[in-house]
Amino acid sequence: MHYWFFTSPVLKSLPGNALVGNLRNLHYFKPLLQSTKNRPSVETITTLKQDLIKNLGRDSVSDTEAIRKQHSRDEGVERHNHLADLVVWPKSTEECSIIASLCSEKKVPMIPFGTGTGLESGVCAPYGGISVDMSKMDQIVDFNPEDFDVTVQPGVTRKGLNHFLKDHGLWFPVDPGADASLCGMTATSASGTNAVRYGTMRENVLNVEVVLADGRVLHTAGENRRSKKSSAGFNLTNLFVGSEGSLGLITKATLKIYGIPEMMLSAVCAFTTIKAAVDTCVQILQSNIPIARIELMDDVAMDMCNSHNKLDYKVAPTLFLEFHGSEDSVKSQAKFAGEIAAYNGGSEFCWAYESEERNRLWKARHDIYWTTLQSNPGCRAIITDVCVPITRLPDLIAQTKADIQESGIIGPCLGHVGDGNFHTFLVFNPNKPEEFKKAETLAERMTRRALDLNGTCTGEHGIGIGKMNYLEKEMGPVGIEMMKSIKKTLDPHWLMNPGKIFLSDY
């Protein structure tokens, strides 16, 4: 297997309108996968642009550098300087079909773009192609409050949907933090703080409408079907959940919604060791307390959290908990959880049930990524997302923290202990190659450890580009072969979001 290391002169000589303007030579470019494809030629793109304008209208197509740049990156580490060649804004499923047929004919890659809030460079364009920005398809197309289901187009975001639902006493609880596109969340199988009680996107998507690479429209559970369960044929819906835009353009998702809990109570509790915090979590789950959120923040994260948000929590491993239910149920759950925490040496138990108090608490948790970057101006961070069976978590975190401390890299550890999933943000200065190398090595050791502990390299963020190396080890050769053959069936020319998930296309 050859790896091509791209540096500035080589990139400039590639065919196609690969790079214009200011080229920041990022020393930590990931090696691109060996591929039989070239980037589309300038002529191809020009013709495609004309066809798209003819079919979708002048306003729906752009090749401005600024727009292309905006669409070629997300919130994760910048992996490439490659830009998409064009950006289009379809307004309907039919327009998506047209785009797919045109691109398919000309062999131009397509990259679906939701809100650009991903963390694994899922929207970047190593092979150019067109970025399909779905934000103009922003309707809630079908809402059935008494059946607890709703169907949305990709431009509908999580907060937008919850705003629409709140007057009906309903909500969609999957909460990855960002105000992401719901179809984008479907594509990455998003999870978040509420997963321990309400599940991830896998458990909450009933049906997906997707435009395949050749333009055909597929309804994964059948058109307009929205039964809560089904045994009919293969479960195509869950094939697309988590497919990261590599199997088609998702144009609709039918989601399960829930009643807003009567009462929500949040609590914070500090511990002397991470082990005590994780043990508390395991015991809470073992006691069958239907806890809604249980999140861990280590001392490094708490310190940053305090200074950034002007709070004064104890700088120690801390659990953030939330209980949902009726008033009696919530109070008894919290009391029981408090006893378990005290048994493990937990202290400083404080509660909040008023909306603004709870939101302040959780905002501090959700913003921790930004807090980390802000506390280290000019730096970026590698985000890890390992997930292991819960009982393995204390050891994994302990070893990871020891590693981090030894390396001198700043790396807060925090996450969804209730699912056995935790994140670290390994901070590095982009101008210091040795820091990046250290951060990468830490991430690699952590991920290999997680895989050895029967876990996964990515609990919720997706493979994107950064974790391609681990997928092979995680799935094994048969798994990878199966995935690739499915991919080749649905996308024989490998046009849907190329350069992601798999190290090679053969």
Partner 1 sequence: MSLRILVGCKRVIDYAVKIRVKPDKSGVITEGVKHSMNPFDEIAIEEAVRMKEKKIAKEIVAFSCGPTQCQETLRTALAMGADRGIHVEVSGPEYETLQPLHISKMLAKLAKDEQIDLIIVGKQAIDDDCNQTAQMTAALLDWPQATSASKIEAKDGSLQVVREIDGGLETIKVKLPSVVSADLRLNEPRYATLPNIMKAKKKPIKKLAPKDLGVDVSPRIQVVTVEEPPVRQAGAKVENVDAVIEKLKALGHA
Minimal distance, residue 325 CB to partner 1, in Å: 11
Minimal distance, residue 218 CB to partner 1, in Å: 31
DSSP string, 245-288: TSS-EEEEEEEE-EEPPSEEEEEEEE-SSHHHHHHHHHHHHHTT
Minimal distance, residue 173 CB to partner 1, in Å: 12
| Structural tokens at position 416 | 């969804």
Minimal distance, residue 160 CB to partner 1, in Å: 7
- What is the 3-state secondary structure of 311-355? CCCCCCCEEEEEEEECHHHHHHHHHHHHHHHHHCCCEEEEEECCH
Helix (H) or strand (E) holding 218: strand 217-219
Nearer to partner 1, 22 or 355 (CB): 355
Nearer to partner 1, 212 or 260 (CB): 260
**Widest Cα–Cα separation across the chain:** 70
Minimal distance, residue 385 CB to partner 1, in Å: 30
Nearer to partner 1, 166 or 432 (CB): 166
Nearer to partner 1, 355 or 489 (CB): 355
Minimal distance, residue 362 CB to partner 1, in Å: 12
Minimal distance, residue 165 CB to partner 1, in Å: 9
User: What is the distance between the alpha carbons of residues 240 and 207, in angstroms, rounded to a whole number?
Assistant: 10
Nearer to partner 1, 10 or 20 (CB): 20
Measured CA to CA in angstroms, residue 430 lies from 77, 211, 385 at distances of 10, 38, 21
Minimal distance, residue 266 CB to partner 1, in Å: 13
- Residue 354 and residue 327 in contact, taking contact as beta carbons nearer than 8 Å: no
User: What is the distance between the alpha carbons of residues 422 and 416, in angstroms, rounded to a whole number?
Assistant: 6
Nearer to partner 1, 115 or 497 (CB): 115
Nearer to partner 1, 120 or 322 (CB): 322
- Residue 71 and residue 123 in contact, taking contact as beta carbons nearer than 8 Å: yes
Minimal distance, residue 114 CB to partner 1, in Å: 18
Nearer to partner 1, 161 or 468 (CB): 161
User: What is the distance between the alpha carbons of residues 500 and 227, in angstroms, rounded to a whole number?
Assistant: 33
Residues lying near partner 1 in the complex (CB under 8 A): 160, 163-164, 166-171, 259-262, 354-356, 359
Nearer to partner 1, 167 or 312 (CB): 167
User: What is the distance between the alpha carbons of residues 139 and 321, in angstroms, rounded to a whole number?
Assistant: 34
Measured CA to CA in angstroms, residue 113 lies from 97, 119, 178, 459, 493 at distances of 16, 13, 15, 21, 20
User: What is the distance between the alpha carbons of residues 303 and 367, in angstroms, rounded to a whole number?
Assistant: 13
Residue 269 pairs with which residues in a beta bridge? 319
User: What is the distance between the alpha carbons of residues 181 and 377, in angstroms, rounded to a whole number?
Assistant: 28
